C-alpha cells in the first residue's frame, strides 16, 4: 500500500483516540493516561473475538463496554479515593497491562487471515479503497455521535467540568459523576481506535498502546492550534479539526520515516514532534512579549 495512504488510514484510525483525549482533557485538563491500556484492551478484545469468528457488531459492543469499564475504574479511583487523575490513570493502565496479557495469553496475535471489518463489508473491489471508505464512514459516524452529544445540555455540562469546576458544581452538576461518565466515553473511543487499528495492521501486540496517549495528545494540540488560529467556536468544526490533527500528525511521522530514519526511533521521533508542537506556541508567545 502506498506509504502516504497508510499514514492517512492510520491517522483516521487514531483520530478516534484524539477525540477521546479531547474529551478527557475537557473534564480533567490533563490527558488521561488510561488511554495506553484501553487502546491495547480494545485491540485484544477484537483479536480474541475475531479468532473465535464472532460477529463484528458484537465485537464493537464489547470493545465499547471494555473501554468504558477501564475509564469508569479510573474515574472511580480519582473521585472516590481522591487520587490525583494522572496517578489514577497510571494505576489503571499498569493493571490493564497484566489483564491484556492474560486475556491474549501471549504477546502477539496475528489476525491476517481472519474475516474482519474490512473484509466482511465490501463497498469497493479494490481492498485499499474499500478499507479507506469503511474507516471514513466509521469516523464520520463517531464524529456525528460525539459532536451531537457535546452540543446537548449534558455535553455543555461535560465541557464545563474541567473548565470551571466551582461554577459547574454551583450550577447543580455532580462533578464526580460527570468525570466518571466522561472518562468512560473517552476510553470507549480509545478502545474503538484499538479495534480499528488491530484490524488495519492485521495483528494485536501487547505493546501496541505504549505511548499512544502522546499520539492522541499531539493530535489534539495540532487540532487546537488550528482551532485557536481560525477562531473556531463551532463544535462540529472542532471535532473535524481534531481528526485533521491526527491525520497531519501521522503524515508528518510518515514523512520523517521516509527520509530514512530508523523505525526503532519512531517513539523518539513522536515524542520530539509532540515536544515541538507543544512548545512552539509558547516560544512564539515569549518572543512577542
- Residue 172 touches another protein, criterion: CB under 8 A: yes
**Which uninterrupted H or E stretch holds 164?**
none
Contact 39, 26 (CB under 8 A): no
User: Binding string to another protein for residues 223 to 262, with x set by CB under 8 A, is what?
Assistant: ----------x-----------------------------
- Compute the least distance from the CB of residue 166 to another protein, in Å: 4
Residues in the chain: 289
First CA to last CA distance, the chain: 47
- For another protein, which residue of 83, 95, 157, 237 counts as binding (CB under 8 A)? 157
- For another protein, which residue of 166, 284, 286, 289 counts as binding (CB under 8 A)? 166
Tell me which stretch binds another protein (CB under 8 A): 88-96, 158-166, 199-207, 276-284. 158-166
Instruction: Please state, as a whole number, how many other Cβ atoms lie within 10 Å of the Cβ of residue 101.
Output: 14
- Residue 156 touches another protein, criterion: CB under 8 A: yes
- Residue 121 touches another protein, criterion: CB under 8 A: no
- Positive/negative CA dihedral, 136, 140, 199, 52: negative
Burial class (CB in 10 A: 0-12, 13-18, 19+), 81: exposed
- 47: which residues sit within 8 A by CB, 6+ positions away? 104, 109, 111, 198, 203, 204
- For another protein, which residue of 168, 213, 240, 242 counts as binding (CB under 8 A)? 168
- Residue 164 touches another protein, criterion: CB under 8 A: yes
DSSP 204: E
- Residue 153 touches another protein, criterion: CB under 8 A: yes
- For another protein, which residue of 6, 151, 225, 256 counts as binding (CB under 8 A)? 151
- For another protein, which residue of 51, 163, 207, 258 counts as binding (CB under 8 A)? 163
Among 174, 145, 141, which Cα is nearest to 158's? Answer: 174
Residues that bind another protein (CB under 8 A): 148-149, 151-154, 156-157, 159-160, 163-164, 166-175, 233
Amino acid at each position: 500500500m502506498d506509504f502516504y495512504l497508510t499514514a492517512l488510514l492510520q491517522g483516521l484510525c487514531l483520530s478516534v483516540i484524539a477525540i477521546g483525549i479531547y474529551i478527557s482533557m475537557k473534564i480533567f485538563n490533563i490527558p488521561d493516561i488510561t488511554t495506553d491500556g484501553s487502546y491495547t484492551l480494545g485491540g485484544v478484545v477484537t483479536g480474541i473475538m475475531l479468532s473465535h469468528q464472532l460477529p463484528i457488531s458484537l465485537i464493537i459492543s464489547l470493545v465499547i463496554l471494555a473501554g468504558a469499564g477501564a475509564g469508569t475504574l479510573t474515574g472511580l479511583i480519582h473521585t472516590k479515593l481522591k487520587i490525583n487523575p494522572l496517578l489514577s490513570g497510571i494505576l489503571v493502565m499498569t493493571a490493564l497491562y497484566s489483564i491484556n496479557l492474560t486475556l491474549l495469553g501471549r504477546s502477539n496475535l496475528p489476525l491476517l487471515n481472519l474475516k474482519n471489518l474490512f473484509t466482511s463489508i465490501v463497498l469497493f473491489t479494490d481492498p485499499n479503497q474499500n478499507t479507506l471508505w469503511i474507516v471514513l464512514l466509521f469516523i464520520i459516524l463517531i464524529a456525528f455521535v460525539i459532536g451531537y452529544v457535546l452540543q446537548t445540555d449534558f455535553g455543555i455540562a461535560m465541557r464545563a467540568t474541567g473548565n470551571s469546576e466551582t461554577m459547574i458544581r454551583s450550577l447543580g452538576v455532580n462533578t464526580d459523576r460527570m468525570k466518571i461518565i466522561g472518562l468512560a466515553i473517552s476510553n470507549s473511543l480509545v478502545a474503538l481506535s484499538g479495534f480499528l487499528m488491530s484490524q488495519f495492521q492485521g495483528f494485536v501486540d501487547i505493546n501496541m498502546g505504549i505511548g499512544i496517549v502522546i499520539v492522541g495528545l499531539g493530535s489534539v494540540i495540532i487540532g487546537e492550534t488550528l482551532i485557536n488560529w481560525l477562531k473556531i467556536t463551532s463544535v462540529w468544526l472542532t471535532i473535524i479539526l481534531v481528526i485533521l490533527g491526527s491525520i497531519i500528525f501521522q503524515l508528518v511521522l510518515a514523512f520523517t520515516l521516509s527520509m530514512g530514519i530508523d523505525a526503532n526511533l519512531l517513539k523518539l521521533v513522536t515524542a520530539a514532534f509532540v515536544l515541538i508542537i507543544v512548545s512552539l506556541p509558547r516560544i512564539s508567545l515569549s518572543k512577542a512579549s
